[in-house]
Amino acid sequence: FRVTRGLWGKVGILETNIAQTTGSAASSLASGVIFTIPALFLWGFKPSIAQIGTLALLGGVLGVMFMIPLRRFLIVKEHAHLPYPEGTASAQVLIAADTGGAKAKNVFVGMGVGAVYKGVLGFLKALPSQASVHLPILAKAEVGMEISPALLGVGFILNYPIAAVMVAGGLLSWIVIIPLIATFGDGLVSPYFPEMVKPISQMSADELWTRYIRYIGAGAVAFAGILTVIRSIPTMWNSLKIGVNEIMRRGVPAEGKLRTDRDLPMSFVFGAAAIVIALIAILPHAIGEGGPFWIRGIGAVCIAAFAFLFVTVSSRIVGMVGVTSNPTSGMTIVALLGTSMLFALLGWTDDFGKAAALTVGTVVAVAASIAGDISQDLKTGYIIGATPARQQVGEMMGAIVPAFFIAAAVWLLGEAFTFGSAELPAPQATLMKTVIEWVLQADLPWGLVFIGAGISLVAQLVGLRPLAFAVGIYLPLSTMTPVFIGGVLRWMVENVFTKKGEELEGRSDQGILFGSGLIAGEGIMGVLIAFYAFFLGKPAGLGIAWPEPWGEALSFIIFMSLGLWLLSIARRRQPVV
């Protein structure tokens, strides 16, 4: 805050927002890197800190640049249709902290509850953090729920329609497709591709989801993403026209715009994106490690195409379902599929081709991840009246400054613990490695991928939101369930406990404030637990061993009690003060 005081004077809500905008970018870089880079270690390559940091930096800057032209459409024009739950929650917390009084009460109560709840589950480990039940008759059908106050708050902010579509996709996976695979594969005595070790009869529901459903989900996300991009073509075209007009000085000059509608100059945005693409082609260690210039050039073109595609898709996904449910790994798989197929057609199937395809995926993963992050930040800024250009500068700083520190951390983890070991299994990176190998060896389970694409097509034809439905298929049902419960509670408030024709304008939704606090509180405690684990080791907890199924039952009862508390708070709508 001393820095922001020197730059902007009084430290208020806008300066605080800039600080959190800048700081939030690092997590996006880390997630994009950790999904992919460990695959290089698994292949036996030794990527340097310089290479990892360069990929993170270039992907971060590219994601920010590609997102800026979309702000007016996805954040402003779609404000009523894309809730951006974490961005809305951040705005409510900032407003509550700035105004204080009765309006702030439920936010800070929610923060306290969320932090304590996360501490009990994640630090003390006094209760199970998940609850699940096996369904009778249906083979290996299982319904689970992650005990997460933050996801409950996300669902309340999202509302019922989106939450219902997401959980419907999860239910399709866990009580339809998995039982079908288990039933028809029960008689097989040998593993069925793509599984290489166990026959289906010996696999658990989680293993079936990992080895089969993930590919169906990736196909669903890919096809739904293509549909989203097709529908977003007018948005992209308008963004391009605005950028060209500004570059040609026919647009509204910066000094003539409202402060709250002022982005970074489009000449800077397009110029920076072009420089990043050129650096990817020129720098020897950006794509793969060395290798011919033309391969790096083709890789740079793949990055430009997939990054712009998935920046758009990622921003819209997090607008609908939140950052927590953003299937960055699914979008990365699609980028790897496309790049690996191109490399296979060109005959680049050696070790360099593998590394080059993987590093393309790394840059795309970072760009898509940071686009989701900056979208939430821009939503927060739009609600509180921030200057987008300053937020965009802050996001760039947040993408550039920590890149090589994150790279050093990943490199040290790989050297100290070995990716793929029991200590660092790196499941996402293992999946990315497997996808590349299968494509380059012409051995990918395309049938599962196309089944997923067909499911998204059906969802589109029957009027569902295909992207939200596909995300539900791709992610664990346990993640979708608390989101759905939050959405049901919001529906009850607005349709059961609100009289028909009741005027709601001029009132503050206390449930959203409380839900926002739950998200913030759990996030803060999660960061504190991560610091503890980094410096002192993984928390051992209290060592309580609950007998089955009483521990999970108690966790579920306490979670539902929290839901009832949220419902009671949301029913008591208080006038804005």
Instruction: Count each helix (H run) and each strand (E run) in the chain, helices first.
Output: 25, 4
Residue 162 clears pLDDT 80, i.e. is over it: yes
Residue 495 clears pLDDT 90, i.e. is over it: no
Kindly indicate the confidence band of residue 208, based on its pLDDT and cuts at 50, 70 and 90. Answer: very high
Residue 2 clears pLDDT 70, i.e. is over it: no
Residues 203-218, buried b or exposed e (16+ Cβ, 10 A)?
Answer: bebeebbbbbbbbbbb
C-alpha distance from residue 350 to each of 43, 177, 196, 373, 546 (Å): 12, 36, 23, 35, 51
d(Cα 71, Cα 60) in Å, to the nearest integer? 17
d(Cα 145, Cα 304) in Å, to the nearest integer? 38
Average pLDDT over residues 443-472: 89
- Within 10 A of 263 (CB to CB), how many other CB atoms are there? 22
Average pLDDT over residues 278-300: 77
What are the pLDDT digits (tens) for 316-370? 888 877 776 677 777 888 888 888 888 888 888 888 888 888 889 899 999 988 9
Kindly indicate the confidence band of residue 205, based on its pLDDT and cuts at 50, 70 and 90. Answer: very high
What are the pLDDT digits (tens) for 416-449? 777 877 666 677 788 788 888 888 877 778 899 8
Kindly indicate the confidence band of residue 174, based on its pLDDT and cuts at 50, 70 and 90. Answer: very high
User: Which of 3-7, 169-173, 500-504 shows the lowest per-residue confidence on average (mean pLDDT)?
Assistant: 3-7
Angle between the N-to-C axes of helices 293-321 and 160-172, in degrees from 0 to 180, rounded to the nearest 10: 120
User: Which of 136-150, 321-335, 373-387, 436-450 shows the lowest per-residue confidence on average (mean pLDDT)?
Assistant: 321-335
What are the pLDDT digits (tens) for 59-114? 999 999 999 888 888 888 888 888 888 888 888 878 877 766 556 688 889 999 99
C-alpha distance from residue 245 to each of 65, 72, 176, 268, 274 (Å): 17, 15, 51, 13, 18
**If you ran DSSP here, which 8-state letter would residue 398 be given?**
H
d(Cα 200, Cα 185) in Å, to the nearest integer? 6
Residue 100: the pLDDT is 63
What are the pLDDT digits (tens) for 307-321? 988 888 888 888 877
18-80-217-330 Cα dihedral, nearest 10 degrees: -20
Residue 489 clears pLDDT 50, i.e. is over it: yes
| H/E element, 253 | none
Kindly indicate the confidence band of residue 8, based on its pLDDT and cuts at 50, 70 and 90. Answer: very low
**Contact between residue 136 and residue 175 where contact means Cβ atoms under 8 Å apart:** no
Residue 4 clears pLDDT 60, i.e. is over it: no
Distance, C-alpha 497 to centroid of its chain: 33
Kindly indicate the confidence band of residue 574, based on its pLDDT and cuts at 50, 70 and 90. Answer: low
Residue 244: the pLDDT is 67
Q: Which two tokens stand for residue 485?
A: 């419960």
Average pLDDT, the chain: 83
Phi, psi at 497, each rounded to 5°: -100, 5
Cα angle: 387, vertex 390, 395; to 5 degrees? 125
Residue 464 clears pLDDT 90, i.e. is over it: no
Residue 575: the pLDDT is 47
Cis before 199 (ω within 30): no
Average pLDDT over residues 128-156: 90
What are the pLDDT digits (tens) for 237-267? 766 666 667 666 555 555 556 788 888 888 8
**Contact between residue 37 and residue 6 where contact means Cβ atoms under 8 Å apart:** no
Q: Which is more confidently placed, 110 or 4?
A: 110
Q: What percent of the chain has pLDDT over 70?
A: 88
d(Cα 268, Cα 142) in Å, to the nearest integer? 51
What are the pLDDT digits (tens) for 549-558? 899 999 999 9
Q: Which is more confidently placed, 397 or 295?
A: 397
- Within 10 A of 529 (CB to CB), how many other CB atoms are there? 17
Residue 7 clears pLDDT 60, i.e. is over it: no
**If you ran DSSP here, which 8-state letter would residue 9 be given?**
S
Average pLDDT over residues 494-499: 74
d(Cα 475, Cα 167) in Å, to the nearest integer? 10
Q: Which is more confidently placed, 7 or 286?
A: 286
Residue 500 clears pLDDT 60, i.e. is over it: no
Classified as helix, coil or strand, 167 is: helix
Residues near 169 by beta carbon (within 8 Å), at least 6 away in sequence: 220, 468, 469, 470, 471, 472, 473, 474, 480
Distance, C-alpha 369 to centroid of its chain: 6
Q: Which two tokens stand for residue 292?
A: 């011919």
Distance, C-alpha 432 to centroid of its chain: 17
Classified as helix, coil or strand, 285 is: coil
Q: Which two tokens stand for residue 24?
A: 């939030």
What are the pLDDT digits (tens) for 403-420? 898 888 888 878 777 787
d(Cα 244, Cα 34) in Å, to the nearest integer? 36
Kindly indicate the confidence band of residue 10, based on its pLDDT and cuts at 50, 70 and 90. Answer: low
What are the pLDDT digits (tens) for 520-547? 888 888 878 878 877 777 788 888 888 8
**Contact between residue 478 and residue 144 where contact means Cβ atoms under 8 Å apart:** yes
**Contact between residue 358 and residue 36 where contact means Cβ atoms under 8 Å apart:** yes
Q: Which is more confidently placed, 193 or 21?
A: 193
Kindly write down the DSSP assignment for every residue of 261-283, as one continuous string: G-PSPHHHHHHHHHHHHHHHHH-
Q: Which two tokens stand for residue 311?
A: 């920046």
d(Cα 416, Cα 41) in Å, to the nearest integer? 12
